[in-house]
Structures are given as structure tokens and as C-alpha cells.
Amino acid sequence: MTEDACRVLCWSEGREQKEQAMDSLKEKRFLEDLERLKASVSKKGVVLATKVAERVGRIKERYPSMSQYYDISLELDEKQKKVASLSWEKLPSREKRATLTGCYVMETSHRDLGAQEIWRIYTTLVKVEEAFRDLKTDLGFRPVHHQLAERTEAHLFISVLAYHLLILIERELRNHGDHRRWSTIKDVLSTHQRTTIIMTDENDQIHHIRSSGIPESEHKELYRILNVKDQLKRNRSVKGKRL
């Protein structure tokens, strides 16, 4: 990091909870592996100092983020060839690590900006990245398979128009206290589907019956917020006659 840079220390409650859960799981598995090795040493299953040290090394490699906070000791016998006992001690640095859980640092060359302004610019950059990701995936901005310029322009116009609709949906949800992203909303609504039933009557006419499933409570709440009242109704049409 350069000396003329400005750094902002940030804390996220959600990130803290996530990191705490991950650390707790890693620490639990790390200690369980040590307990298993200790039991093996007690039962004389693995006693050679070289073998036990090798096992300890493997455990440290498996959990590097946890092993740095523990001091593992091997007590050898009189001949200094076999391990009599295995023990470990939690270091004070482990508690210091807990105080920084959920924290991260943002660095910028704009020393004239305050912490709030730096955070606002950062969130704006995140939104721009999300916009390009949505355009290039869900909204079909690319690939473009058209050969003619006017068709390519129409393709890009529809994708950008769809993005404006996406932003409108997210803003309307935020106004009602729902801060979920579009990808989450899409997954929730994907379970409310419309089905097409194809059947042939006694006169060999082919009928298509399109009907929507019954929306769940979460679907209804999203429709209410977005003011979606006239949902697609059941539709029946004759598509032709079987030959």
C-alpha cells in the first residue's frame, strides 16, 4: 500500500456473522482432527515422533487459518523417539482475530474525500458491476448473433430496456423495505410457472390450454408490491387438426 493512499475501515454485520460461522466450523473440525490424533497416540496407534509430527503437519496444512492460532506440543519419551502425549494451547492472537471479524479495508488515492463519500462511490461501483453482470447474463445483452446493423441495434435496445425495468422493480421493492437483489427475486418467482396442456378431442382437433399455477404467499406479496393485478388467465385455443 502506498503512503499517499487513504484507507477506510469498514464493518459489516452480515459479513461478521458469516465469517464467525465459517471460523467456528473450521476451528471445530481442526480441534476434532487434533483430538483424533491425540486418541491415536494414547492408544499407541501412532507413536513415532516423525509420524506424529507428519500428521500434525497435515492437519496444519488442512486448516492454515486456524493452526496459526494454536501452539501444538509433542511430549517425547526418554529415548526421544516416541510421543508420550500430544497437547495444544490457544494463543492470545485468536481472541484479537475475533475483534476484526466482519471488518475490511477500502483504499483510494482520493485523500480529499470523507469516509461517507468513499463508501458511496464504492457502492456505486458495485452497482455498475452488477448492472453489466445482469445485462450479460439474464438480460441477453450478449452474445449478439445478428448480422444486420438495425437488428443488432434492436437487440441492444431491448436488453437496455429490460435493464431499466429491472432497476424499476428493485427500486420499488427497496421502497417497501425489500433489499433483495434481482437474482434472488428471480429465483423466488421461478417457482410460479405457467403450464401448457396439449390434448386432442374426438374430432382430432388439437387444443392448447395454458394455465398458471396457484401463487404462494411470497409470490402474492411480490405481486402486491409491484402492483401486478391482472395476472395471466387461463387461455384455451385450437392450434390445428391432427392428420
Write down the pLDDT at residue 141: 79
Measured between alpha carbons, how far is 5 from 175 in angstroms, rounded to an integer?
36
Write down the pLDDT at residue 233: 76
Between β-strands 6-11 and 103-108, what pairing exists: parallel, antiparallel or unpaired? antiparallel
- Select from 119, 232, 227, 120 the least CA-distant residue to 173: 227
Measured between alpha carbons, how far is 19 from 109 in angstroms, rounded to an integer?
28
Write down the pLDDT at residue 9: 83
| Span 213-229, pLDDT tens digits | 888 999 989 988 988 87
**DSSP designation for 215:** P
What does each C-alpha distance from 44 to 41, 72, 113, 154, 176 come to in angstroms? 5, 19, 64, 75, 64
Write down the pLDDT at residue 98: 75
In the chain, % of residues over pLDDT 90:
20
Write down the pLDDT at residue 123: 79
| Span 9-38, pLDDT tens digits | 888 888 888 888 888 899 999 999 999 999
Residue 60 has pLDDT above 90, yes or no: yes
User: Does residue 136 or residue 50 have the better pLDDT?
Assistant: 50
pLDDT band at 72 (very low <50, low <70, confident <90, very high): very high
Measured between alpha carbons, how far is 191 from 194 in angstroms, rounded to an integer?
10
Across 115-126, average pLDDT: 81
How many residues can be counted in the chain? 243
C-alpha cell at 104: 475490511
